[in-house]
Structures are given as structure tokens and as C-alpha cells.
Amino acid sequence: MSKELNRTTADAPAAPIRLVHLGLGAFHRAHQVWYTQHAEDGNEWGYASFTGRGPKLAEALAPQDGLYTLVTRADDGDSTELITALSEAQPADNLARLVELMAGPDVAMVTLTVTEAGYHLTDSGTLDMNDADVVADVKALRAAHASGASDAPGTPGTPGTPDSLDTAAGRIVAGLAARRAGAADADSDGSGSVRGIAVMSCDNVAGNGEMTRAAVLGTARAVDPELAEWIERTVTFPSTSIDRITPATTDELIEEVTAETGYADNAPVVAEPFASWVISGDFPAGRPAWETAGAEFVDDIEQFERRKLWLLNGSHSLMAYYGQLRGHETVADAIADEGIRAHVEALWDEAAHHLTADGLDVPGYREALLERFNNPRIRHNLAQIGIDGGTKQRMRAVPIMKAERRAGRDGKAAAFSIAAWIAFLLRNGGSEDIADSRADVLNRARQSSAPVAALVSTLDEGLGTDRSAVELIRELTEEISSHLR
């Protein structure tokens, strides 16, 4: 008989909530929550985390008071650990709770994992004001704002909370508007306790701090320019490079965890032993001592981001498309295939030309990656990695190919990765569903008279008009597709 899992049975008191997260999922639980638990002052920092969309994970975690088991899966065995730093799990639509927490003096930071496609920015990096979700959120926020307009000029009234918001930036702006109103109250009664806050993206995109700033300020400006100014003065947007391979949780894992720990845990999570977190930026209201858990704080993060995105994620996307076309299911299967491994190494060689900062140790990083990919006990599905290629390849293969071409080379290995993505979209006569938040755009491109050029253009306008680049990608797509016939 298994025991119920909750804070009483596990004798695990909840830490006070000082961190809020948007995008409660396996990765957040294996990474940011785990780092917080392992920080020296972890017992002073609890997370309240909101799901990205559906309520499922919050519903599974609520009866367990946010507790869950992390299974660390090495190639020679598992270890389990009870994670206690998630003090509260909430569904995405509990906006009232999000706003309440962000308005309060205790919360010092909002972190987010809302996927690469979750920022709704244009190619030039500004908020996409034509995006339907952005339009809806701005409208809802304006209405809520108007309902809270203050009579006293220069002082913000307490804004209402919209019934629902679709974008992460919209949710953050709702929370920040309430925080600003709380800060004004605190100033007027002299307590002055509600202050700045850090909003920190943990998504796999280069310059994620700047992207978050653009999305949040873009939304705020469209709602109320004074609110936007307050955010500019008060809120910081640190950048991060995050890393831990975390496959989706399976029913099998639930059974294994019950057998191992004796607890009936509805929501365990499995991850590799490796974890890394590089962070750059300021934290006006403080932060956990994550460095005591192994996080690295740096002044210049760009080359670290690139190393991770281009080497790890870049080869992941290559394996996702080329590997599935060759009949593989997991990363471990794909990397064991010599015909794929050679392309991975070639991609890494091209990327390495542009990873030159001191301390990056690219050869050591590559060696460690091979070891991590080879871990046969981590079943990391290529199909899972293949989702959202229309956004991911923009940040993975495309910048490598462009950097190579700027340096006077053809960028053939990165071109091969783009070609593998295209061959994957065109397989079976282009009839397969596209698992991508940009599926409409990609589907139109796939049906055009010159699908390769059109698909390249969906990734990058400049590359799409570079005739020799498109020709190279077209030849490689043809080569890959012809082997499948």
C-alpha cells in the first residue's frame, strides 16, 4: 500500500512564497525549483507556479501540496529526491491569485518558461501588434485599467483584473499594474515596502531578457504609457541560459516512483544528472543564493547562450528531423547512428568557429554532450523536440548558417539541418500535420509552388532571398528526401 503524499505525511513545511513562475511544467520543476531547493537559503524562498495553459498539472500537484519526486536518471541507475520548494501550484487561469502575489511585498521575482513561441514578437524584436492573442490581451487589459482609473492625477488607481489573458506578457503586465498601485499606496502611508521586481525568462532563446522586456513593455505601452514608464524604471529583466534534459513524464514513471518511495505521487519528473544555469542581470528585491547550488552569475552571457543553443539545441533539432526521417525515436538512438552523428559533428564544427570567448571550452562541452545524448536510460523523444521547429530553427540552425556565410563559407552543415526540417515537413507529399504554433504559416509555405524557398523565408527573410543559400538547402532537401523514397 502506498502512502498519500502531502506536506503532513512528508513532514515538509512550505517555504514562504517569494518567487512566481509562469509555465509550470517538467522543465521548471527539474530546473528552477530544484536549484531553489538546493540553494543555501532555499527554505526562505518558495515558488508559486502557474501552468502555461491547461489546469492538469496544477490539479495533480494541489492535493500533494506542491510536493513531487524528482528522479535523476544516470546511465548506471536512478536516484530519487522529494522536491519541496514548490509551495503552491496554480492553473494558468487563476489570474486573481497571480495578481495578488505580484502586488505583494514578499514576491521578489517572476520567472517564466513559456516556450520559444510564447513571446509574440516580430522579426525585428518588437511586440507583434497584429497577433490575435496580443490584440485580445491589450483590449482586456485596457478595459480593466480603465475600471481602476484613479481620480488623483499622477497616482495610479487599483486596476481591475481581466477575466482571462492569453499571453505571458499580458499576465505579467496585469501583475505589474497591481504592484505599481500597491507601491503608490505604500509610498503614501510611508511603509514603502513594495518595490522593484525582476522578471526573468528561462526560455531557450538568445537574449531572453531583452525579448521579455520587449514583450512586457510593448504590452504595457499599448495599455498605459505611464505604466510602461514605471516598469522601465522599476523592473529588471535578467537573461539566462538554462540547461537540463527533461523528457516528458510517463505513466511508467509514476509506478516506478511509487515502488521506490512508497508515496503515491501523481506528478513525478525525470531528468538527467547534468544541470546548468548561467544568469546575468540585477535583482532589485533580492534572489535565492542560487550560486550555492551551482548557478553561475556572469556579466556577459551572449557566448554562453550561443554555446548552449547552437551546440545542444542545434544538434537536438537536427536529430529530431533527420533522426525521425531515418526511423529513430529517441536522441540516444539517433546519436548512435553514424550517419547522423557525422552531421551533428559537422554542425558543431561550424558553430565552433563562432564560439571563441575565453572559458567556453567547446571541446569539453562537445564531449559532455555526446555523453549526455548517449544516456540510453533517458528516453528523450525526437517527436517532442521536433515541435515548434518553425520557431526553434530560427534560433538554432539559421544563425549558424548566417554566421558561416558572413565569414565567407557556405554553412553547409547548418543548411543540412534546415533541409532536414524541410524534408520532414514535406514527407509523404506534405500531407502530415505540422506540430507547430506557426502551423498555418508553414502549411501555406509548404503548399506554394517553390516550397523550399518559401519555408526558408518563414525562418528568415534574408536567408530566403539569398539565392545560393536557398539553392544549397534545396539540393540538400532533395538529397535527404531521395533516400527516403
* Residues in touch with ligand CS2 (CB under 6 A): 204, 243-245, 312-313, 316, 384-385, 392
Question: Is residue 289 a contact partner of residue 40, using CB atoms and an 8 Å limit?
Answer: yes
Which residues partner with 88 through β-bridges?
48
Min CB(172)–ligand CS2 separation in Å: 22
- Is residue 85 within 8 Å of residue 24, measured between CB atoms? no
Starting from the edge strand earliest in sequence, which strands make up the sheet with 276-280, in order? 239-243, 276-280, 296-297
189 Cβ contact partners less than 8 Å away, ≥ 6 residues apart: none
Q: Quick one: 14 or 320, whose CB is closer to ligand CS2?
A: 320
**What are φ and ψ of residue 339, in 5° steps?**
-65, -20
How many alpha carbons fall within 13 Å on the CB side of residue 142? 11
Between 18 and 396, CB nearer to ligand CS2: 396
Half-sphere exposure of 358 (CA within 13 A, CB side): 2
H or E stretch covering 342: helix 338-352
Shortest distance (Å) from residue 108 CB to ligand CS2? 25
157: number of Cβ within 10 Å: 16
Task: Give the bridge partners for 242, in sequence order.
Answer: 277
Closest separation between CB of residue 276 and ligand CS2, Å? Answer: 8
Q: Is 230 or 421 the residue whose CB approaches ligand CS2 more closely?
A: 421
Q: How far is the CB of 397 from ligand CS2 (least distance, A)?
A: 12
Nearest residue to ligand CS2 on Cβ basis: 316
In the bound state with ligand CS2, the residue whose beta carbon lies nearer, of 132 and 383, is: 383
Q: Of 36 and 115, which CB lies nearer to ligand CS2 in the complex structure?
A: 115
Question: From the CB of 118, what's the least distance to ligand CS2, in Å?
Answer: 13
Residues 269 and 288: beta-carbon distance below 8 Å: no
User: What is the residue type of 398?
Assistant: V
Specify the pairing of strand 46-51 against strand 86-90. Answer: parallel
Q: How far is the CB of 384 from ligand CS2 (least distance, A)?
A: 6
Shortest distance (Å) from residue 9 CB to ligand CS2: 32
Nearer Cβ to ligand CS2 (174/382): 382
Task: Return the number of the residue (244 or 446) whose C-beta is nearest ligand CS2.
Answer: 244
Alpha helices in 262-356 (DSSP H): 302-306, 314-318, 324-325, 331-335, 338-352
Query: In the complex, what is the shortest distance from the CB of residue 241 to ligand CS2, in angstroms, rounded to a whole number?
Result: 9
The nearer residue to ligand CS2, 29 or 244, going by C-beta atoms, is 244
Helix axes 362-374, 338-352, angle to 10 degrees: 150
CB of 321 to ligand CS2, least distance (A): 12
- The torsion defined by the Cα of 462, 467, 470 and 476, in degrees rounded to 10, comes to -150
**Residue 254: what residue type?**
I
Residue 337: Cβ within 10 Å count: 17
Give 87 or 313: the residue with its C-beta nearer to ligand CS2. 313
The one-letter code for the residue type at 456 is V
- Output the smallest distance, CB 201 to ligand CS2, in A: 13
Q: Give yes or no for a contact between 85 and 36, defined as CB atoms under 8 angstroms apart.
A: yes
Distance of alpha carbon 456 from alpha carbon 462, whole angstroms? 9
User: Sheet of 46-51: strands edge to edge?
Assistant: 86-90, 46-51, 17-24, 109-112, 197-201, 235-236
Nearer to ligand CS2 (CB atom), residue 325 or residue 395: 395
- The least CB distance from residue 394 to ligand CS2, in Å, is 12
Q: Based on CB atoms, which residue is closest to ligand CS2, 137 or 243?
A: 243
